[in-house]
Structure 1
Amino acid sequence: MSTIQNEKGKMTNYRWMICSMLFFATTVNYLDRQVLSLTWKDFIAPEFHWTNDDYGNITALFSIIYAFSMLFAGRLIDWLDTKKGFLWAIGVWSLGACIHAFCGIATSGIVAGEWFVGFEGAREAISHVNNVGLIVNVSVTLFIFARFVLAVGEAGNFPAAIKATAEYFPKKDRALATSIFNAGATVGALAAPISIPVIAKHFGWEMAFIIIGALGFIWMGFWVFIYKKPEKHPLVNAAELHYIQQDKDHAPMDKNNQPQRKLTFAECFKFKQTWAFAFGKFMTDGVWWFFLFWTPAYLSSVYGMKSSEPTAQLALFVLYAITLLSIIGGWLPSYFVDKKGMNPYAGRMKSMLIFAFFPLLAILAQPLGYISYWFPVIIIGIAGAAHQAWSANIFSTIGDMFPKSAIATITGIGGMAGGVGSFLINKGSGLLFDHSETTNMKFMGFEGIESGYFIIFCICAVAYLIGWVVMKALVPKYQPIVVE
């Protein structure tokens, strides 16, 4: 029994209940994002005549809206605080998820004058309109609006989750807690291919958005009753509270023993630590979003595997099952801290360097794909696991460096940078894939759309090492921010 337990009684473990709620929120978050990627190619595109570039525009604009929303969502959550901020975020994004379902009816109303019809009636009305360009423009615009609402809400997930983690876990456990709740992204990605295409096939793509979107409203009902600050929660006893607050940073004081003032928004940009985190996110977030948004289309375009077919669903399930290995990302820095005596930041940076080498395998994804599609599936899964492990640690560097009152704001700033990176890779991918397909482009022995995917895979492969080098150059050693 630990000293804390001896002095204050047996320690409760309510912090893991909070971690589980963050896990489920992240799972719902990623399910909502995946609905479009798993339905557009086989269900939505035939109805609205979309091309890869149209889809690329939608995903790219989602990324840029998400990016700038994160900039303000983090600040808003620091102002509203964790409980209210999370309710705001998930409420908005669940509404946005459900709005997608009505884009078909709205398109029918605009292009065919048929407003008061059901989902089937909308499809029928659109099919009789000969102006394909109008259908494309209207439907893409409506989906962009729905993605706008989704992006604004989803931007609040990680700032709120990282802030809750800092409130309920000491520094040495935050990477582990982050890797656990961040695994919700993987579980969401696992559940998506075996549920969303099935719903779309049997009930229509519209019901996939509605059913998955409704999960967020259910989560909100639990959060209202479960979350309180640890120092105010009746289910957190003295021993657990002492463990949570062992870093003595729960109520930081200045040199006059007064509560530290909060950093202003502008001040946050003055620190190299902010820019290091932001650059790391800029270089790597787009890789994850590329894998998330384009893998179903990749399997369909290159290997002819539709997302509604069992073979494609199994491949995607295996891919995202592999990414569950990312939980190691939370354990490894704890090993370096506890066994090697490193400070948390040094342990995280060493761990991130190790994880940065695994995405290099992506260079081999397309070449080995000639042998079997299982090679790119497994390689993308390994690269995804490395990303999630990297992500758990880069998020935790914020709590290492910044006071708790600024954590959501800094998370938002980095999220904005990651969203810009995601915008660039999604927009660029859509243009490149259409160009490579229509011109039968040849590159490094590949032809057509395969050459386009090979180029993007190579960019993804080196992004993490570049990000790590720049982060290390900006913040070579542990430098916590002290507010004067």
Structure 2
Amino acid sequence: MSAPASASGAATAKIGMYRWRVCAMLLAATTINYIDRQVLGVLAPFLQDEIGWSEIEYGYIVTAFQAAYAIGLLCAGAIIDRLGTRIGYAIAICVWSVAAMSHALAGSVIGFMLARFFLGLGEAGNFPAALKTVAEWFPRRERAFATGIFNSGSNIGAIVAPLMVPLIALSLGWQAAFLATGVLSAVWLATWLLWYRAPERQPRLSQAELAHIRSDPPEPATKIPWSRILRHRQAWAFVAAKFMTDPIWWFFLFWLPKFLHSEHGLSLLGLGVPLVVIFVLADVGSIFGGWLAGRFIRLGWSVNRARKTAMLACALCVVPIVFAAQAENLWVAVLLIGLATAGHQGWSANLLTLPSDLFPRQTVGSVVGLGGFAGAVGGMMIATFTGFLLETTGSYLPVFLMAGSAYLLALLVVHRLAPRLEPARLDVAPAP
């Protein structure tokens, strides 16, 4: 029994772990990305009083971010496919960091809408770049786990923001909270440009690990236009699932602090611990969801069965959120929402892996961009809807009902459009 275990450990050591350092850089970038976008969500209940915007106007501010994010995702995937991850990622973080800090200059609804618009444009580059990097650095069987790890940065950012932002805002003013992440972005950018290279050009990468990374069957290197990608049902499966479930995560990010403030009377400092609990659970869900599918694959399950079983388990975790809107106890609501955020992030770790499962590496950025565009359009719709809903009824229940059903419906759509998760044959016309 000990000999095979020792051999397995020796084989892992011989292959090398450099690709996981790359994954750590993606985790850091995603964390910074979500800190930047979450600052407004944490401060929203209190900026609303200071600046005087209505629920509908706050919905418009969120919609401005979503509109730019949608536009950016349409362009970001293709730009990153063209420029490569090293330069494409660097440009994205430059744009979103400057935009994040520009919030400190805003003093009106229009000012915040402009700042959010440019933040959305820059932040749109993060996931296409990160997922393309995963496709370049990991064999297919490791991609869901690697995606789950870097995607957990969205939860780490959402954890750090409610701990950091209130302290900075109360001691130095709310403007300083928007400026604080500039230093983190500068350090990441310098490290990325000095250190990152594609696997074939990275001198620190061993030949054994490069062979491991390239152990999947070779893929064609020709450029594929959107028109050919969108002829395939696999693309629409990803696009539809993003459209249906991304808006729920946007709601969590931008309205949970307002929900906890209005429904449970939490102060700026009081928001910290409940939001940390919610997003710690989301972090666990992100890593576990990616690990679960990988575990099923290692047990001999097909990619189709493994991915969809993991996605079903995650979708079921979101269903109980329908009871959170009317929970009288704060911690009952927090745990129900935390279970839902864990389910969403586990779902996303698997959903975000589908483009690299279903399409060649050189098209992953474009496919992710198209799906992200659809998710951002859905986010625009839920932002405007939520603003009008709260202004007229003050009730969060309809949004929580939507959240509880969205993931199961999305999984059904994915299964109908891609019943076996077979890779798209972009060299031949799809079946009618």
Compute the TM-score of the two structures, normalised by the length of structure 2.
0.94
TM alignment of 1:263-278, pairs within 5 A:
263-278=224-239
Q: Structure 1 residue 479: deviation in Å?
A: 1.6
Q: Could you say which residue in structure 2 is the equivalent of 1:85? A: 88
Q: Could you say which residue in structure 1 is the equivalent of 2:199? A: 230
SS at the partner of 2:106?
A: helix
TM alignment of 1:64-83, pairs within 5 A:
64-83=67-86
In 2, Cα distance between equivalents of 1:233 and 1:194: 37
| Residue pair 2:68, 2:118 contacting (<8 A) in 1 also | no
Matched residues, percent identical? 39
C-alpha spacing 1:3/1:242, structure 2 compared with 1 (3 Å): farther
C-alpha spacing 1:2/1:412, structure 2 compared with 1 (3 Å): farther
1:424 aligns with 2:381: yes
Q: Structure 1 residue 298: deviation in Å?
A: 0.5
Q: Could you say which residue in structure 2 is the equivalent of 1:399? A: 356
Q: Could you say which residue in structure 1 is the equivalent of 2:332? A: 375
The code of the aligned residue for 1:351 comes to A
Q: Could you say which residue in structure 2 is the equivalent of 1:146? A: 115
SS at the partner of 2:352?
A: helix
Over the aligned positions, Cα root-mean-square deviation in angstroms equals 1.6
In 1, Cα distance between equivalents of 2:13 and 2:389: 62
Compute the TM-score of the two structures, normalised by the length of structure 1.
0.84
Q: Could you say which residue in structure 2 is the equivalent of 1:179? A: 148
Q: Structure 1 residue 206: deviation in Å?
A: 0.6
Q: Structure 1 residue 248: deviation in Å?
A: 2.8
Q: Structure 1 residue 321: deviation in Å?
A: 1.4
Q: Structure 1 residue 2: deviation in Å?
A: 5.8
In 1, Cα distance between equivalents of 2:13 and 2:187: 35
SS at the partner of 1:348?
A: helix
The code of the aligned residue for 1:39 comes to L
Q: Structure 1 residue 65: deviation in Å?
A: 1.7
Q: Structure 1 residue 330: deviation in Å?
A: 1.0
| Residue pair 2:67, 2:117 contacting (<8 A) in 1 also | no
Q: Could you say which residue in structure 2 is the equivalent of 1:318? A: 277
C-alpha spacing 1:373/1:342, structure 2 compared with 1 (3 Å): same
SS at the partner of 2:323?
A: helix
The code of the aligned residue for 1:480 comes to P
Q: Could you say which residue in structure 1 is the equivalent of 2:170? A: 201
Q: Structure 1 residue 382: deviation in Å?
A: 0.7
Looking at CA atoms only, which structure, 1 or 2, has the larger radius of gyration?
1
Deviations 1:31-68 (A, max 9, x none): 000111111221x2233211111111110221122112
Q: Could you say which residue in structure 1 is the equivalent of 2:214? A: 245
1:415 aligns with 2:372: yes
Q: Could you say which residue in structure 2 is the equivalent of 1:297? A: 258
SS at the partner of 1:45?
A: helix
| The one of 404, 420, 427 aligned to 1:461 | 404
| The one of 282, 295, 316 aligned to 1:335 | 295
Q: Structure 1 residue 4: deviation in Å?
A: 12
Deviations 1:416-447 (A, max 9, x none): 000011111111111100101xxxxxxxxxxx
Q: Could you say which residue in structure 2 is the equivalent of 1:287? A: 248
In 1, Cα distance between equivalents of 2:178 and 2:13: 48
| Residue pair 1:98, 1:214 contacting (<8 A) in 2 also | no
The code of the aligned residue for 2:408 comes to L
1:94 aligns with 2:97: yes
The code of the aligned residue for 2:228 comes to E
1:161 aligns with 2:165: no
In 2, Cα distance between equivalents of 1:365 and 1:345: 33
In 1, Cα distance between equivalents of 2:103 and 2:228: 38
The number of residue pairs the alignment matches comes to: 421
Give the unaligned 5+ runs of structure 2: 1-5, 428-432
| Residue pair 1:85, 1:156 contacting (<8 A) in 2 also | yes
In 2, Cα distance between equivalents of 1:424 and 1:461: 17
1:364 aligns with 2:330: no
| The one of 49, 57, 65 aligned to 1:46 | 49
Deviations 1:219-259 (A, max 9, x none): 1011012211112111110111111111133xx24xxxxxx
| Residue pair 1:345, 1:397 contacting (<8 A) in 2 also | no
SS at the partner of 1:247?
A: coil
Give the unaligned 5+ runs of structure 1: 105-138, 254-259, 437-448
| Residue pair 1:175, 1:393 contacting (<8 A) in 2 also | yes
In 2, Cα distance between equivalents of 1:91 and 1:334: 34
| Residue pair 1:359, 1:460 contacting (<8 A) in 2 also | yes
Deviations 1:156-194 (A, max 9, x none): 000000000011111011000000011101111111111
Deviations 1:187-221 (A, max 9, x none): 11111111011111111111110112432122101
